[in-house]
Amino acid sequence: MTEHVTVIGCDGRPLSPEATAVLGKAARVAGAARHLDAAGADLPPTTERIVIKRLDDALDQIGAGPGPVAILASGDPGFFGIVRALRARGIQPAVIPAASSVALAFARLGLDWDDALVLSAHGREPRQVLAAALAHPKVAILTGPGEAGPERLGTELLSAGRKVYVAERLGTGDESVTDLATRPAARFGEPNILVAFDPAAPSAVRWLAGHPGAPHGWALPEEAFEHRDSMITKSEVRALVLSRLGPAPGRTIWDIGAGSGSVAVECARFGAWVIAVDSDPAQCARIRRNAASHGVYLRVREGRAPAVLADLPPADAVFAGGGDNEVLAAAARRARPERLVVTCASVDRVRAVRDLLAEHGYHADGTQLQASRLTALPGGSLRLAAANPVFVLWGERRE
């Protein structure tokens, strides 16, 4: 195993004396061609150069030969960088970091970023990255080619009302920062950083960087939401539904027949990207007001299921409050979610829903919830007031 591996961060500025000294003693130096070219004057003529094209191949070379080895990497190599890959192979490098590209991008825009969610779409699933970005007021995305590029991701974030900037070649002589709204048809090279934020989002002093984590409480009381004639998923039921849906950053959830949007809003409070579907314009307006009152982002889609589901992006989980079999079947086919959760009041619906879940490849299970709430009586006594029983059924897709 190669000993004495040092990773040096590069941000376009001259290398530090410490980094230059490491390069001068290195038997081999690895890095992208642009980094090796930039460091050429600091490399002795006898130094072997390893151009990193495919990371695994380069790591094989790094681990096979003699040391000491220096590796040139962009920005802070411990931040979505090569340090993790080295340690996974049992190599424990020394690190001389530079400013990360994310820090540089926010600096160029004059923005604070302790409240930003930092995401990488490079070599990852762009749908998951986009879902997390849409649900958060401020993000930075390390982009990749194709669907993971700033053109595709930036367009979606612009449509959601965000200010979107693309920062290219940061730290070099030809760096640029582009307001995507002024050049919506622009094409960008790689690598780059996409920064998106909601300029209307309130600013607050934080103690935790990035996503704030799970909310302080969930299964909120019905009074926490505007609703019509008690047409709202009760808090006890909502608690179980949330546990089966598994809302989290990067997950997309459909709430079909969302009504007041209590389930949709609660999922969004966990950081999920939620699409709330309802055919009633008044309910759609109510969902938007509830989302605004809880400070969360979601998309409201007005229309009647199942037809309205046809143009929605795939979902990781779907909730249908009493949806009929046609709607459930369409959701299973169109979204192909990992999890599908249904509530119904009628016992007659239970077997039909369970059979439908099994037919579409889900392991089906369920329970009946019948809660009794404490209610005050005159004179200070208490009694239990029974709520109507509800069946909660769920399916998890079989591998």
136: left (phi over 0), alpha (psi -120 to 50) or beta: beta
Mean pLDDT, residues 70-92 taken together: 92
44-58, 85-99, 228-242: lowest mean pLDDT where? 44-58
Among candidates 215, 235, 239, which has minimal Cα distance to 223?
235
Domains of the chain, with CATH numbers?
Answer: 5-99 (3.40.1010.10), 102-197 (3.30.950.10), 222-397 (3.40.50.150)
Spatial separation of the C-alpha atoms in residues 72 and 103, rounded to whole Å: 19
Mean pLDDT, residues 266-294 taken together: 97
Position 187 scores a pLDDT of: 86
Spatial separation of the C-alpha atoms in residues 46 and 195, rounded to whole Å: 42
Q: Any bridge partners for residue 318, and if so which?
A: 254, 340
Spatial separation of the C-alpha atoms in residues 329 and 191, rounded to whole Å: 42
Spatial separation of the C-alpha atoms in residues 134 and 131, rounded to whole Å: 5
Q: pLDDT (tens digit, 9 = 90+) per residue, 126-144? A: 999 999 999 999 999 999 8
pLDDT at 283 > cutoff 80 = yes
Position 352 scores a pLDDT of: 94
154: left (phi over 0), alpha (psi -120 to 50) or beta: alpha
Q: pLDDT (tens digit, 9 = 90+) per residue, 35-62? A: 898 888 778 888 899 999 888 888 888 8
Q: pLDDT (tens digit, 9 = 90+) per residue, 358-394? A: 999 999 999 999 999 999 999 889 999 998 899 999 9
pLDDT at 263 > cutoff 90 = yes
Q: pLDDT (tens digit, 9 = 90+) per residue, 143-154? A: 988 889 999 999
Q: What is the DSSP string of 141-177?
A: EE--SGGGSHHHHHHHHHHTT-EEEEEESTTSTT-EE
Give, to the nearest 10 degrees, the angle between helix 235-245 and helix 262-269: 50
Mean pLDDT, residues 317-321 taken together: 96
pLDDT at 399 > cutoff 70 = no
Q: Any bridge partners for residue 128, and if so which?
A: none
